[in-house]
Amino acid sequence: MNKLGIVITDGVGYRNFILSDFISKSKQTFDEVVIFLCLPNSTSYFLYLQK
């Protein structure tokens, strides 16, 4: 089982990872993709994606 964990701490990371095709390609490559978003002035939360 292959897992990928990503921590996004700012808007640049959000733009580079969430708004690109990185996540869709990661879902094809890894069994699980876990994303921890900790953006300033927002509620931190986890995204858990599974094939």
- The domain segmentation of the chain, as residue ranges, is 3-50
Predicted local distance difference test score (pLDDT) of residue 23: 86
Predicted local distance difference test score (pLDDT) of residue 47: 62
∠ Cα 10 37 13 (to 5°): 35
Predicted local distance difference test score (pLDDT) of residue 31: 93
Segment 1-48, tens digit of pLDDT: 899 999 988 878 888 888 889 888 998 999 998 888 877 665 555 566
Distance CA 15, CA 13 (A): 5
Predicted local distance difference test score (pLDDT) of residue 17: 84
b/e code 33-48 from CB counts within 10 Å (16+ = b):
bebebeeeeeeeeeee
Does the global pTM surpass 0.75? no
